[in-house]
Structure 1
Amino acid sequence: MALVELRGVSKSFRKGDETITPLDAIDLDIEEGEFVSLMGPSGTGKSTLLNLVSGIDRPDAGTITVDQTEVTKLSRSKLADWRAANLGYIFQTHNLIPVLTAYENIELPTLLLKLSSAQRRQRVQIALEAVGLSDRADHYPRQLSGGQEQRVGIARAIVAHPKVVVADEPTGSLDTQTSEQVQVLLQRLNQELGITLLMVTHDQDVAGIASRQLVLDRGKFLPRNQQPA
């Protein structure tokens, strides 16, 4: 069984008198330790898919299973607990809390878990080391570069040892050099730590760092022979 399974997943939205269906009865399997990138024109459901996998939103139809837990059947309260323990999210714009240090921003997800202070401290230190920021633990976001802020965001996403990390345009707000550094980091986290990644990007070069590339268009995954070269 795949770590992530989507079966017949559909999602529609109303926009005025029009019904938009960014996802139309899609199936998807993601194996444990796999790195999957997702591309497609704007408005084709890429971010919607991330939100469904992470339990932020619910599909209109179909089932989503992560590590044999059917996410679509969980109540709102159980979903929040499940997300805290199983899902890491990397945002495009970091979403760090400015009044907290890098250490404190990374620690936040662990506060939702049943961990001792020593266990939380150990996890934060491991996450800081994984992204190469052990010497920036006490710095506030305003004292960090854009690339360092994104690395803090990545550390926050992996600190709870999630089953899956989803990344929504993780390099979209970075300059070319910093983007390349983040790409190398994401590959290393996947290859060396075995972290399962599902990443949305508009950049074909960034998509190419993943072990598998998918393209969404008009609610469906494009066949491989119709994907960009």
Structure 2
Amino acid sequence: MALVELRGVCKSFRKGDQTITPLDHIDLDIEAGEFVSLMGPSGTGKSTLLNLVSGIDHADAGTITVDGTVVSELSRSKRADWRAANLGYIFQTHNLIPVLTAYENVELPTLLLKLSAKQRRQRVELALAAVGLSDRAEHYPRQLSGGQEQRVGIARAIVAHPKVVVADEPTGSLDTETTEQVLELLQRLNKELDITLLMVTHDTDAAQIASRPLLLDRGKFLEPAR
């Protein structure tokens, strides 16, 4: 059984008098430890798929199963509880809280778990070390570069030891050099820590670092984007 399974997943939205269907009976399996990238034109359902897998949104039809839990059958509140314990999310624009240090930003997801103060500290320190920012733990976001902010965001996504990490355009707001550094970091975390990654990107080069690039267009998967 794959770690992530989508079967017959559909999602539609109303826009004026039109019905838009970004996902039309989608099937997808992601194995534990895989790094999957999603490419496709704007509006083709890439971010929608991330939001469904992460339980932020709810599918109109079909089932979404992550590590044996049928996420698509959970209530909104139970999906939120499940997400806190099982999923990490990397945003395009970091979404760090400016009045908190790097350490405190990374610690936030652990506050929702039943961990002792010592266990939280150990996890935060390990996550910051994994992204190479142990020496920036007490810095505030305004004291960090864009690349460092994104690395804090990545540390925050992995600190709770999630079953899967989803990344929505994680390099979309970065320059070329910093993009390469962040992509190398994601690839290293995937290989060295066996983190399962599902990443949306518009960047063809970024997509190719994944072990399995996929192309999504008009609600369907097309041929792999290699």
- The answer, yes or no, to whether TM exceeds 0.5 is yes
Matched with 1:79 is 79
Q: Secondary structure at the match of 1:161?
A: coil
- 2:90 equivalent in structure 1: 90
Q: Counterparts of 1:76 and 1:41 in 2: how far apart (Å)?
A: 29
Question: Alpha carbon RMSD of aligned pairs, Å?
Answer: 0.7
* CA displacement, residues 119-177 of structure 1 (integer Å, 9 cap, x when unaligned): 00000000000000000000000000000000000000000000000000000000000
Query: Which residue number corresponds to residue 37 of structure 2?
Result: 37
Amino acid at match of 2:79: L
Query: Hey, what's the Cα distance between the residues in 2 that align with 1:156 and 1:180?
Result: 20
1:22 aligns with 2:30: no
C-alpha separation in 2, matches of 1:83 and 1:114: 14
Shift of 1:223: 2.6
Identity of aligned residues (%): 85
* Whole-Å separation in 2 of the counterparts to 1:117 and 1:71: 30
Letter in 2 for 1:208: Q
For the residue of structure 2 that corresponds to 1:173, the secondary structure is: coil
Q: Which amino acid aligns with 1:185?
A: L
Distance 2:214 2:48 in 1: 15
Unaligned runs of 5+ in 1: none
Counterpart for residue 112 of structure 1: 112
The residue type paired with residue 153 of structure 2 is G
Letter in 1 for 2:58: R
Provide the rounded CA distance (Å) in 2 between the counterparts of 1:145 and 1:223.
37
* Distance in 2 (alpha carbons) for counterparts of 1:223 and 1:209: 17
* Structure 1 consecutive aligned stretches of length 4 or more whose deviation exceeds 2 Å: none
Measured after TM superposition, the shift of residue 51 of structure 1 is 0.1
- Partner residue, 2:137: 137
Q: TM-score, normalised by structure 1?
A: 0.98
Secondary structure class of the residue paired with 1:8: strand
Deviation at 1:77, TM superposition (A): 1.9
Amino acid at match of 2:111: L
SS of alignment partner, residue 153 of structure 1 = helix
**Secondary structure at 1:64 match in 2:** strand
Kindly state the Cα deviation for residue 200 of structure 1 after the two structures are TM-superposed. 0.2
